[in-house]
Amino acid sequence: MASSDGPAEMQQIAVVIVNWNTRDLLRACIRSVLAESPAEVVVADNGSQDGSVEMVRREFPAVTVIVSPENPGYGTASNRAIARCAADYIVLLNSDTELRPGALRVLGDYLEEHPKAGVVGPRLLNLDGTLQASCFPFPRPLVPLMKRRTGRFGHDRPEPVPWVVGAALAIRRVAFEPIGGFDESYHMYFEEVDLCYRLRKAGWETHFTPAAEVVHVIGASTQQRRAEMMLRTRLSSLEFFRRHYRGIPLAAGLMVEHALTLGRLVRDGVRYCLPGSGGRRDQLKENLTVWWALLRSRSPSLARRHR
């Protein structure tokens, strides 16, 4: 168990922050991290155009910056940055997060005290201090997407859980590296679900602790490209099923997803044409592009590959 005698105990913990066009939030995130005296801090920037990289280099010269102009995706950026760290434990953060005081030490101590935990997630809070749900059961193909995130976890005690939201993760390197880190075929979304699933198969556990708290501004990056992120969410969920399920459950799940998408297309098409749609027309138009793209995708054929 790590002691609380001084900052020397923190030298085993590195922090990786993944950023895309959230300069001001990134600044606040780095400040909260540096206040915790980590061993090292690495920012993985995915092609920001808002001056994020210049800000970090100017204001935080001790922070390492890895710039990926092509925006390789969250998993790839995380893997590259984690590979640059030397610490045994890595706390991976979205740039729209801020550590509450003591969070870094609590997460490091938790990994020390729970040797079976490959990943531990903190309690996530909204800006107003209210709870942000972050522990969930693994998705299943026949459960509609909007219901997959319904959890049965109270977020009030430390415990093993199936998976935790990737906005803030404490990762044990000796668990992470042998399974290949994040699967880089997921460009956005479901990376942490897939990671926790593969860790479980490798004999590791995913844990949650409310003793460490992190404030999270939901969607600071993703809302900049709402339609693209909607599409990626659903494509990534289908990819997760393709990788981890077989036979009739997979085939039936993909058929249900296809039918639901067709229903959404019809619903939003009717709403778009109604006289009272008004200011919602732009959002409905975005929705329609997402549903069309899903229907044109090859996702239903995935069932045939795995029968």
Q: If pLDDT is split at 50, 70 and 90, which confidence band does 298 have? A: low
Residue 188 reports pLDDT greater than 90? no
pLDDT digits (tens, 9 = 90+) for 106-137: 999 999 999 999 999 999 999 999 999 999 99
Instruction: Determine the pLDDT at residue 255.
Output: 79
Confidence of residue 290 (pLDDT cuts 50, 70, 90): confident
Domain residue spans in the chain?
7-222, 245-305
Answer yes or no: is pLDDT of 229 > 80. no
Above pLDDT 70, what percent of the chain?
85
pLDDT digits (tens, 9 = 90+) for 37-57: 999 999 999 999 999 999 999
Report CA 232 to chain centroid distance, whole Å.
13
**Going along the chain, which residue ranges are E strands?**
13-19, 40-45, 64-67, 89-94, 97-99, 117-125, 131-132, 135-136, 159-161, 163-164, 168-172, 205-216
The structure's pTM equals 0.81
Per-residue confidence at 58, pLDDT binned at 50, 70, 90?
very high
pLDDT value at residue 11: 47
Between the CA of residue 304 and those of 79, 233, 242, 251, 295, what are the distances in Å? Answer: 32, 22, 10, 7, 16
CATH superfamily to which 7-222 belongs: Spore Coat Polysaccharide Biosynthesis Protein SpsA; Chain A (3.90.550.10)
* pLDDT at position 202: 97
